[in-house]
Structure 1
Amino acid sequence: MKILGIDLGTSNTYIYGAHKSSTAPQPVLLPRVSAPDGCVETAILYEDGLPLLIGHLAESEYYANPGMRTRRSLRCQFKPEIGEENAEAVGWMTDFLRLLREALPQDTLEPDSQLYVGIPARTRESFGLQLAHCFKDAGWPAPALIKESDAAMISCLQSGAIELDDLEHSLLILDFGGGTCDFTLAENSNILHSGGDRLLGGRLFDDLFFQLFCRQNPHLQEEVQADSCEYYVHWVLCKAEKERFSKILQKDLDSAVSLHLSWYDAAGAQKHAYLHELTRQQVVSAAESYVASESLRAMLSQYANRGSLGAVAGEMLQGRQVGLISWFKDVLYDIRRLKSADKVILTGGSSGWFFASEAVREVFGTDNIVMSPRTYEDIAFGLALYPMLLHTHLKIKDLLEKQSEDFCLRVADLAQGIFEKHTKMAAKTCAERIAVKDILSVLEAAQEDRKTVEEIEREISEKIQNDSGLLAIVQERTEAARKEIERELRLQFSRWLREHGVYLVPRLNFSARTLSTSFFDAVQVKVSRLTLLNTMDVMAVAVLPGIAALAIGEKMLLITAEPVSAVIGGAAAFAGTWALGKFGKNFLRRQKLPKFLLNEKNREKITAKNREYIEEILGQSFQEIRQDLMEDARGKIRYSLKALLQRLTVLNHIRVERGVPPAGQAGQTGQ
């Protein structure tokens, strides 16, 4: 693979690989070394002083063969030590990385492969230098070092958990992992603060769950010690059950979960321990009265006399009772005192715990919390995407500066077509409603009340002007047009970039709301002024001639039981249909219409003709609106593209820190 991203965690290591144009890095699975999800425990087993195994195999082998303990040693939790001038830790890290490299599937590393490795946001300079030397001495390509918070941010940008716009506001990236709880506060693309607590992490809850098992299984600790399986049960099995409990509670906070441990003693007999019906409240109570086990304190004893250790961590290492959830909240309150946050991103393996988002919501008073879809693998995924981000930034910048007008012209016609489709639908639906609700109802009433055409037309106009349902139709069509334009423009933008070789596509934030608002206001005016109805025209050319033909034939309309000539006002008006077409309209405008002129058949004629007329008039009116709007749309599309170009500058702060510059790249500073 051309690109490898390695998240070298205190507890677990993840490797993701990508090809040059890939936007979806894949986990690199190491046969017999990594778990199915790609996780490799950051642990190494030595035998007679020589490195033997890494990962979960190292742990299992060490505790499965107690007879070999005198010749073997298991090393873990050594990552933080390599920046403290600890020669042993540097040696352990180098050996771990050498075995990690040897376990890579064949052809994973190519001659020109690039390696990106995450480092905590706040570390000593010596940490990066030592880590880079460890990689180089272990046979890896010289690594480019990226801040873990930046890698998590890149992953979240790719997944859509955050947008580029979020980086322009205050953003908190909270990485609550297995070994540490780290944070990065950024605003306007600048890193304001970074820090955290190096002892607060998921391993404390592994210890907590072991203690919960011991409470319900009184002889558990003595048994696993006698079976030489204490580490395996305490830190491997309890971690797995803790994760299962967490995942169940993510779906249902009120669940009561039964947990189970199973191991084999030295004679090969299988043993079990159970934790029945464990609830959220039981875990909270136990977490808030937590006392670290001797095993955990021994593991973390290296931190006991070190500076910059938090007060709660110091209490825990002294064997005093602490509240784990309160400790997490204290970290959040310390961050809150530094700066509030418009959005909080939760990442890291422990961020899915039920109390994590609750605590963030309580401390920061916001529901603007997003969970990364890749909590465990976020950093490795983002690291493998870093070169693609650099390519994307430069390529999009070049395209927007040189070819944005081409894209603007390309999508302007598309937007016009969408507006045209929805305005035609609006005209048709409005005409239908006017015909049925506003015209037909007036004609039905006019048949009984004997009104003139002038009165009928006035009543129809008033009904149209007061018909709020028409505006609801226009509003519905307007909103549909807005959504379709925004969706299609983003889709076209993505296609346009991919056509030019850009595969990690940023979101084009084109808002058609101002367009649709202008459209709605203009259409509202057009509908409210729709008073030029042709009720009388329809009667003159379609209704009255038919009646005149009947009158000439000396027939009577049974509805009124009166001769047509008597109703109209004299047989002279019916010299022929041509005369009626010429004089009937003006003659009847102020005459009260007889009932038979507005019978059901004639009402249908009048309504149908006016429906066609209204749809045509609205269509013409909407066409004028569309022409005005499209010039406005072109300008807004241009503005959106320029705004995107400006927003891309927020990525400038993501820089490579090089401990040992790769060959041929000395002196480079990264992006």
Structure 2
Amino acid sequence: MFANSDSTAPRPAEPKPVLAIDFGTSNTYVTKCPGDREDPVGVDFGDGRDGIATALLYRADKESLIGHVALEEFGDAGTEHDDYRIRAQFKPDLVSSAEARRYARDFLVGLLALARRQNKDIAPLQRQVIFGVPSEASATYREALRAIAQEAGFGDVKTVDEPKGALYFHLQRKDITPIEALKGALVVDFGGGTCDFALVVRGEIRHSWGDMHLGGRLFDDLFYQWFIEQNPEAVAAMRRERAEFFVQAVRCREVKEKFSLAMALDPTTVYRRNVGDYGRLHDMTWDAFLARARRYRPSATFAQYLRAMNPPAGAHLDSFAQGLDLLDWFRQTLRQGLAHEQVRHQDLACVILTGGSSAWPFVADIVTEELKQIDPRHIEQLPRLVHSDRPYVTVSQGLAIVPALQRRLAATQIDLRRELPEFIGARIAPLIERRMDEAANRIAEQVAVGLFDERIEPILRRFRQEGGSVVDLKSRIAEDAAAFRPQLEAIVTTQLARVLNGVAADTTELMQDWYRHHRLTVDQGLTHAGTPVDMADGLRLANLDVYGEITGVVLALSTTIVTVLAAAISGGAGTALVMSGPYGLLIGALVGLIAAFLAVRYGTDEATHRAEQWEGAPLWLIARVLSDSKIAHLRDDLKDQVVDKVSAQSEQARQGLEGQISARVEQDIASLSAINQLW
């Protein structure tokens, strides 16, 4: 009913939705995502599986087929269609082969056509389109891919390094924290046609290396050779049907992926699998696979394909005629980059394994072994490995959420800074005060028991019974107080460690609740129980001088007692014994006479000195000064002073911890800001 006064104000433009494409050697993964929500959805092109096979089937006088349909059609056709030509694994060869570029364009054209037929809402011209590329890819490769995509109908696309997509994926899933994302991550992308390593620091690729030819397709060929060795009769059938490349690139890849999964679950498994209708692989074991991987030679089928698609790569493969250790190739490729200065001196927070071939058990083993070699002295501090249960979709989904994630993180920065004072004042400050009060009372009680009850009180009671000079009493108390010093230090250290670790755990829990509301994760280092002054990475309390304060109280205790005794003997103000009844007046009069006599004869200072040296003080006088109630009062006074000293430090502790929490939150805010500049 009422007009909105802001109705004429221009509204900010709605962010465009995103279409992210991980154009892979074996499979291509397409993900769409709203521009304002981190809600990535993988596009299923009718096969009920993630991704679509990067394969193209040319058919004379008919429209080309793409994906798994193309592979199955070619596999089922046999010799019925002489005009069928299957093309796959062309992504790595875009720069060197005009044919590969044509195949890539035709595949992407077919992808859009298939989406339209299936009413898949991908509409690239109405979306931000992002293509992932290996960080090792050259500028020529990136430009070729952009030109191919534009020609295919995807418009003006943006190319982003695939390792950044993997980083965003795990950041959004809270597998890694913003600080870890910026501190340093080694991304290992082992896919179907490439093996790509990248050091990512503060969102930038500091160093990248790899091999555009080392990838899953070499292992496909390994399984193909394994198959024809066990099924030599299948060769004639495959040649007759011109299906050798299809079996090598498709059927054997399917067996390889299933075998890899089975070995990851149980490396003692004996595996068996049909290879289409051509035969069966049997008695496959992990040891047998390793033996073959260490003496791999390319098959004639694969070598012929590679020479036709990429002559330099084919020539490179010919150099392996004497055999190649695929596992060592992976190891040496990794080692080459780890020896680089940028990597060797970088404090890595995590290692991200991505790509379909990263699921091989040997990948994590080799990565861990090589990282240990960088600095064997700190093998217990190796960066943790982060691996998705679906590593093949991490890149496309990570790239798809970038705009929405950046919008959220920008808003989160504002919210964290606004909420920080209230979080500290309402939740952290009461926590520290409560914990420090508990510690103060525990320390005071333990000091009272260990020092007063077990050491000082027996001295006082013996003095009350036997008498002696005050100066001797003072000496004995000082000696026992000095002897108690190690025990006092242990009490303070133990209790402060306990309270600081408690504060660390409680603070972590409170920050986790707060951060969880903003869909963030607290650095796990906060839960580490360390020393009292180093209880967690980045969360250090001030070095509290509680021990020194308590030592002062203990050493002053003898002076307190002596002052009471000497003042009573010498008649000091405020110490006269006032008791009710005639008997009390008599005692008071005697004390007064003694005090008056000493003061008149020697003066007040000298009287006090002589009182300390006097060994003839009557026991009844000492008993009155050191009555049970007075001794109990001395104990209570000691506890109160210890509590006061510890509590006085709680303000220092509170300020120190609050300052560090503020610094930690500001560091996270700065990390979020830096993440928004990743591309």
Q: Would you call these one fold, judging by a TM-score over 0.5?
A: yes
Q: State the SS of the aligned residue for 2:221.
A: helix
Give 1:144's match in structure 2, choosing from 155, 158, 175.
Answer: 158
CA distance in 1, matches of 2:106, 2:159: 20
1:408 aligns with 2:404: no
Displacement of 1:283: 2.6
Deviations 1:97-116 (A, max 9, x none): 22453366655659854332
Q: 1:432 to 1:627 in 2, by over 3 A?
A: closer
Look up the match of 1:488: 510
Corresponding residue number in structure 2 for 1:324? 326
Partner Cα distance (1:155, 1:183) in 2: 17
The 5-angstrom pairing of residues 341-420 of structure 1 reads 341=343, 342=346, 343=348, 344-364=351-371, 365-366=373-374, 367-368=382-383, 370-373=385-388, 374-392=390-408, 394-395=410-411, 399=414, 404=417, 407-420=420-433
Q: Does 1:627 align with 2:667?
A: no
Contact 2:165 2:398 in 1 (8 A): yes
Distance in 2, matches of 1:436 and 1:274, equals: 76
Structure 2: segments with no counterpart, 5+ residues: 1-15, 375-381, 466-472, 527-533, 565-579, 592-618
Question: SS where residue 199 of structure 1 aligns?
Answer: coil
Q: More displaced, 93-102 or 166-175?
A: 166-175
- Name the SS of the counterpart of 1:300 in structure 2: helix
**CA–CA distance in structure 1, aligned partners of residues 585 and 64 of structure 2:** 110
Corresponding position of 1:315: 319
Change in Cα spacing, 1:128 to 1:74, as seen in structure 2 (3 Å) is same
Please state whether the residue corresponding to 1:346 is helix, strand or coil. Answer: strand
Change (3 A) 1:465 1:256: closer
Partners of 1:451 and 1:213 in 2: how far apart? 98
- The structure-2 alpha-carbon separation of the partners of 1:334 and 1:264, relative to structure 1 and needing over 3 Å to count, comes to closer
| Identity percentage of aligned residues | 23
- Distance verdict in 2 for CA 1:223–1:612, change over 3 Å: farther
Correspondence 1:232-631 to 2 at 5 A: 234-250=248-264, 255-262=267-274, 265=277, 272-276=280-284, 278-279=285-286, 281-306=287-312, 309=313, 313-316=317-320, 319-341=321-343, 342=346, 343=348, 344-364=351-371, 365-366=373-374, 367-368=382-383, 370-373=385-388, 374-392=390-408, 394-395=410-411, 399=414, 404=417, 407-431=420-444, 433-434=446-447, 441=454, 459=480, 462-463=483-484, 466-467=487-488, 468-489=490-511, 491-493=513-515, 495=517, 498=518, 518-519=541-542, 521-531=544-554, 587-588=622-623, 617-631=641-655
Note the C-alpha offset of 1:290. Answer: 0.5
Q: Is the 8 A contact 1:349 1:376 kept in 2?
A: yes
CA distance in 1, matches of 2:547, 2:129: 60
Task: Give 1:21 shift.
Answer: 4.0
Shift of 1:629: 3.3
Residue 13 of structure 1 corresponds to which residue in structure 2? 28
Q: State the partner residue of 1:550.
A: none
Q: 1:257 to 1:406 in 2, by over 3 A?
A: closer
Residues 241, 260 of structure 1: 8 Å contact kept: no
Distance 2:440 2:199 in 1: 52
Unaligned runs of 5+ in 1: 541-571, 656-671
SS of residue paired to 1:260? strand
What amino acid does structure 2 have at the position aligned with 1:6?
A: I
In 2, the alpha carbon distance for the partners of 1:574 and 1:29 equals 106
In terms of mean alpha carbon deviation, does 139-148 or 231-240 score higher? 231-240
Q: Once the 2 structures are TM-superposed, how far is the Cα of residue 517 of structure 1 from its aligned partner?
A: 5.3
Do the aligned partners of 2:512 and 2:521 also contact (CA within 8 Å) in 1? no
The total of aligned residue pairs comes to 586
Change (3 A) 1:460 1:283: same
CA distance in 2, matches of 1:635, 1:377: 41
Following the alignment from structure 2 to structure 1, what is the Cα–Cα distance between the partners of residues 540 and 444? Answer: 22
Corresponding position of 1:155: 169
For the residue of structure 2 that corresponds to 1:30, the secondary structure is: coil
Residues 567-597 of structure 1: per-residue CA shift (max 9 Å, x gap): xxxxx999699999xx999623898x9xxx8
Query: Could you tell me which amino acid in structure 2 is paired with residue 391 of structure 1?
Result: R
Partner of 2:11: none
Please, which of 40, 46, 54 is the counterpart of residue 58 of structure 2? 46
Deviation digits for residues 359-394 of structure 1 (CA, Å, limit 9, x no counterpart): 334545243353332522221121112113432464
Alignment of 1:82-161 (within 5 A): 82-83=94-95, 84-86=97-99, 88-102=102-116, 106-107=120-121, 112-123=126-137, 125=139, 127-132=141-146, 134-136=148-150, 138=152, 140=154, 142-160=156-174
| CA shift digits 1:159-194 (9 cap, x unpaired) | 455554456666543311111112334456543443
Alpha carbons 2:188, 2:198 under 8 Å: kept: yes
Superposition deviation, residue 63 in structure 1 = 0.8
- CA-CA distance at 1:54 after TM superposition: 2.8
Letter paired with 1:371: V
- Separation (CA, whole Å) in 2 of partners of 1:102 and 1:370: 40
Q: 1:250 to 1:420 in 2, by over 3 A?
A: farther
1-structure distance, mates of 2:651, 2:228: 76
> Following the alignment from structure 1 to structure 2, what is the Cα–Cα distance between the partners of residues 212 and 235?
14
1:350 is paired with a residue whose SS is helix
**Cα 1:521–1:578, aligned 2, differ >3 Å: closer, same or farther?**
farther
Change (3 A) 1:285 1:90: closer
CA contact (8 A) 1:113 1:141 kept: no
AA partner of residue 321 (structure 1): G
How many angstroms apart in 1 are the aligned matches of 2:243 and 2:399? 36
1:177, 1:201 within 8 Å by CA — same for their partners in 2? Answer: yes
* Cα separation, partners in 2 of 1:368 and 1:631, compared to 1, 3 Å: closer
